[in-house]
Amino acid sequence: MSPHTIAGGVEVTIAIAVVKTLILGLGGAITFFAFKAYRRTRRRALGLLAAGFGIATLGVALAGLLFEVLEVSLAVGILIESLLVLVGFSIIAYSLAVE
């Protein structure tokens, strides 16, 4: 079995694209609902929560876009994704601590 395939012959690239798409959809939905809650309540913590999830979701989407469309190396794409997810998670953590 090739290192680029998983059980059943499904290519890893396709599996990654499917998982990234699902993450983008779920992350987008969480960002939308957090932002909607922020607009309703105007609580700073909810605005930060929405921003954090939005940035983390952007990181996941941007990595695939950079690699597939702009032909940036996989390592650079993963680094950019990781940095944006780190920033997003940091904002989420801060939003949970602030009142």
Q: Residue 63, SS3?
A: helix
> What pLDDT does 1 receive?
44
User: Residue 40 carries which side chain, given as an amino acid letter?
Assistant: R
Give yes or no for residue 74 having a pLDDT over 70: yes
**What does the alpha-carbon distance between residue 56 and residue 81 come to, in Å, rounded to a whole number?**
8
For the stretch 12-56, pLDDT in tens is 778 888 898 999 999 999 999 999 999 999 999 999 999 999 999
